[in-house]
Structure 1
Amino acid sequence: MLLLALDTATPAVTVALHDGDSVLAAESRIDARRHGELLLPAVDRALARAGVALGAVTGLVVGVGPGPYTGLRVGLVTAAAFGSTLGVPVHGLCTLDGLAYASGLDEPFVVATDARRKEVYWARYADSRTRLTEPAVDRPADVAGELAGLPVVGAGGALYPDAFGDVREPAHQSAAALASLAAERLAAGGGQGGDGQGGDGGDGFLPPLPLYLRRPDAQVPKNYKVVTPK
């Protein structure tokens, strides 16, 4: 097994290689505006550090979000292109699940990432491997009461300390954690879905499609003038 994991759903442009036992190499850069420029060079560096060729990859793992429209698509399109070229499967995982796994917490907690527009993407977890709720997007003040007393993992907690008091690490997504979670699920032969109820088809993975949770900022203008040829 050689998994190539990618995630661009958050400001972290992150890549990792995993051989089924451990992480061979990982690259991460925090930059919310340069996902397209940074991702492929990060893949090249990770492959070089691991001393393997892209052709040796046996599967792709990609964070499907939730995340902003443009950045999220960079990782998904790249994973789809690699998967098609190499003829290997592409496994989708919720980006929040990667942050939860990296936390290592064995108590109830919340993962929250920056959704912009003064909102956060969030989900509640029983422990680092078990998500209890579907990902959602809300203003921190609107969910502060519901989540009161729970530790909060992710940059969303640090951005809104008045709403989220007990902020824990990590702040940013790691493809190394995403790859490790995927390797664990593959080794187990699939298993229960990431939502705790098999909502992703029962194999522990999601389709490699974007999880936006809301409409993109770019909209087709309403009542635009139609020009017809003379």
Structure 2
Amino acid sequence: MLLLALDTATPAVTVALHDGTDVIASSSQVDARRHGELLLPAVDRVLAEAGLRLDAVTAVVVGTGPGPYTGLRVGLMTADTFGLALGVPVHGVCTLDALAYAADIDKGPFVVATDARRKEVYWATYADSRTRLTDPAVDRPAEIAERVAGLPAVGAGALLYPDTFPSAHEPEHVSAAALAALAAERLAAGEELPAPRPLYLRRPDAQVPKNYKVVTPK
């Protein structure tokens, strides 16, 4: 097994290789505006670090968000392209699940929250690092304050809003190393990973202008 894992659902552009036992190479850069520019060089970098070629990959794992539309689709489209080119399966893993896994909390409940912009967070609650209790959602921190009161929290969204998440701590962003390790663990246990379908949770920021004038040929 050689898993190529990547995630662009958060400001981190992160890539890793996992051989079924351990992560053998990884790369992470935080830059919310350069996902498309940084992702492929990061793939090249981890392959070179591992001394492997792309055609050695047996499956691709991609973070499915939730995340902003523009960043998230970079990783998903790249993963699909690799899958088609190599003829290998492409698996999806919720980005929040990978953050929870990296937090390595044996007993919860706890919260994972990432920055959704617009003064909102993407979030979910977990019983432990491997067990999600609620579906991913997007809300303003003040709107969920009572529901998450007293719970430890991880992720950039939690760190941004200490009034709602006073016990927030790292990891701040997802890592492909955690994504790959979680996927490898689930595959080894015989679990079927979901298809790589994006969790946008809301409409994209870009909108058609109001009162848009349609021009038709005469």
Give the TM-score category using the shorter length.
over 0.9
In the alignment, the residues of structure 2 paired with residue 43 and residue 207 of structure 1 have an alpha-carbon distance, to the nearest angstrom, of 21
Q: Tell me if 1:88 matches 2:88.
A: yes
1:70-219 to 2 correspondence within 5 Å? 70-107=70-107, 108-190=109-191, 203=192, 205-219=193-207
- Which secondary structure state, in structure 1, belongs to the residue aligned with residue 80 of structure 2? helix
Deviation at 1:67, TM superposition (A): 0.3
Give a deviation string over 1:108-130, Cα, whole Å, max 9, x none. Answer: 10000000000000000000000
Deviation at 1:102, TM superposition (A): 0.3
1:227 alignment counterpart:
215
Deviation at 1:218, TM superposition (A): 1.1
- Which secondary structure state, in structure 1, belongs to the residue aligned with residue 201 of structure 2? coil
Q: Tell me if 1:11 matches 2:11.
A: yes
Counterpart of 2:5 in structure 1: which amino acid?
A
Report percent identity of matched pairs.
Answer: 77
Unpaired stretches in structure 2, ≥5 consecutive residues: none
Pairwise CA RMSD of aligned residues? 0.8
In the alignment, the residues of structure 2 paired with residue 220 and residue 207 of structure 1 have an alpha-carbon distance, to the nearest angstrom, of 30
Deviation at 1:92, TM superposition (A): 0.2
Q: Tell me if 1:21 matches 2:21.
A: yes
TM-score (norm 1): 0.93
In the alignment, the residues of structure 1 paired with residue 55 and residue 69 of structure 2 have an alpha-carbon distance, to the nearest angstrom, of 29
Maintained 8 Å contact 1:94/1:206: no
Counterpart of 2:81 in structure 1: which amino acid?
A
Counterpart of 1:165 in structure 2: which amino acid?
P
In the alignment, the residues of structure 1 paired with residue 122 and residue 215 of structure 2 have an alpha-carbon distance, to the nearest angstrom, of 41
In the alignment, the residues of structure 1 paired with residue 195 and residue 57 of structure 2 have an alpha-carbon distance, to the nearest angstrom, of 19
- Which secondary structure state, in structure 1, belongs to the residue aligned with residue 40 of structure 2? helix
- Which secondary structure state, in structure 2, belongs to the residue aligned with residue 144 of structure 1? helix
Give a deviation string over 1:43-73, Cα, whole Å, max 9, x none. Answer: 0000000111000000000000000010001
Deviation at 1:94, TM superposition (A): 0.3
- Which secondary structure state, in structure 2, belongs to the residue aligned with residue 55 of structure 1? helix
In the alignment, the residues of structure 1 paired with residue 136 and residue 84 of structure 2 have an alpha-carbon distance, to the nearest angstrom, of 28
Counterpart of 1:128 in structure 2: which amino acid?
S
Aligned residues: 217
In the alignment, the residues of structure 2 paired with residue 209 and residue 39 of structure 1 have an alpha-carbon distance, to the nearest angstrom, of 19
In the alignment, the residues of structure 2 paired with residue 138 and residue 70 of structure 1 have an alpha-carbon distance, to the nearest angstrom, of 19
- Which secondary structure state, in structure 1, belongs to the residue aligned with residue 158 of structure 2? helix
- Which secondary structure state, in structure 1, belongs to the residue aligned with residue 147 of structure 2? coil
Counterpart of 2:140 in structure 1: which amino acid?
R
In the alignment, the residues of structure 1 paired with residue 97 and residue 9 of structure 2 have an alpha-carbon distance, to the nearest angstrom, of 12
In the alignment, the residues of structure 2 paired with residue 91 and residue 149 of structure 1 have an alpha-carbon distance, to the nearest angstrom, of 34
Maintained 8 Å contact 1:12/1:31: yes
Deviation at 1:39, TM superposition (A): 0.3
In the alignment, the residues of structure 1 paired with residue 30 and residue 201 of structure 2 have an alpha-carbon distance, to the nearest angstrom, of 23
Q: Stretches of 4+ moved more than 6 A in 1?
A: none
Give a deviation string over 1:133-154, Cα, whole Å, max 9, x none. Answer: 0000000111111101110010
